[in-house]
Amino acid sequence: MHCSPDKILQLGSRIIEVWHRCYQELYAYLQPSQPESSTWMRIWSPKRWYPIECDFAVMLSPQKFTTLVVPLLKAQCQQLDHVIYHLDGPQQIRHLDPLLDLPELDGIQWIPGENHPDNTGSPRWIPLYKKVQDRGKRLVLDKVPASSIPLPEKDVLAPKAFYSRRPRTPRGQPRRFSPPAPKADDILRSGPSTALTAPAEAKLTRALDCSP
């Protein structure tokens, strides 16, 4: 990686090319019966969308991330209609600025990391949320505890928010049915908004209301 950065970018570009060819073939195949798209993030869109990520980034310096990863992420963004980056863990925060500089990137999903003492509802992350929104990006927060909804610091964030919370299913029990996922277009086009992934019983029509 240190000695052959051009080779890394070349091979990464080939992987992205194959990935998007497969994505487009599957998307076209499903169009007659399912003219929308969704992902593991549980956000739906009538257009092509997918979350992108690079968990390997926790082992990279900001310089290496900017040189070796950002060009590949940009290429992914340019081949989709909507894109959200999966920012997983405090060690990825150092890479936030070059991500926010990508005009093709719609938003950031923040995950504090497995077993981190401060969950997504913690005031500790408010400066991070504010930074994302101040740069005009959308914010997706997963597994926000019901006790943190609404966030006490909601007044310092963008006023429009989708509150959702994925209920945990006890081990060995069938997963409970949850209401329809929010549409990505509704979240992505409503301005710099906070999308909080909220109680399963939340009314989606109210959550996605874009009125003043």
pTM of the model: 0.77
- In degrees rounded to 5, what are phi and psi of residue 155? -70, -20
> How many alpha carbons fall within 13 Å on the CB side of residue 32?
2
Q: How far apart are CA 61 and CA 44, in angstroms?
A: 34
Low-confidence ranges of the chain (pLDDT < 70): 1-2, 145-212
Q: What are the tens digits of pLDDT across the range 87-142?
A: 999 999 999 999 999 999 999 998 888 778 888 878 888 889 889 888 988 888 87
